[in-house]
Amino acid sequence: MLKGIPKILSPELLKVLAEMGHSDRIVIGDGNFPAESMGRDAIVIRMDGHGVPEILDAILQLFPLDAYVEHPVNLMEVMPGDPVETPIWDTYKEIIAKYDDRGADAVGTIERFAFYEEAKKAYAVIATGESALYANVILQKGTI
């Protein structure tokens, strides 16, 4: 046991977060995200019983966001004409504001298929049980 480590972070995920260097990216995918196919060249970590907000909050307690890019956090854009609402994005922005002074300004969006291409380049992909649609997040690591 370690003190100060959020209990939701498994030893496997802690190892991955520690291995990652500046500019490496990690994807937190919702329950519909194709984690295994997008993560063919990455480390895939299964966290099916958890939602993205609780995982995001735990990771950001330890994980510095990249200060040298405009948007170290990127969300998957809603497809034009898709009537989906994304209130979970507001939750993400609140969580990010707790750990990064840029708050919502640190968050960008990437078109859906471009998001998939970026996800294929990630160091790791976390597969969650999140049921919200368009709840996928890419985090880019900074320095401390």
CB of 139 closer than 8 Å to CB of 26: yes
CB of 10 closer than 8 Å to CB of 19: no
Nearest alpha carbon to residue 119 among 4, 42, 38: 38
| 66: annotated active-site residue | yes
Q: Which of 50, 71, 99, 116 is catalytic?
A: 116
**Distance between alpha carbon 28 and the CA centroid of its chain, in Å?**
4
| 48: annotated active-site residue | no
Other beta carbons less than 10 A from residue 15's beta carbon: 13
Outline where DSSP puts E strands in the chain: 25-29, 43-47, 73-76, 107-110, 124-128, 137-140
Other beta carbons less than 10 A from residue 123's beta carbon: 19
The encoded tokens of residue 16 equal 């991955």
| 123: annotated active-site residue | no
Q: Which of 30, 57, 66, 100 is catalytic?
A: 66
Question: Looking at the annotation, which residues are catalytic?
Answer: 22, 66, 116
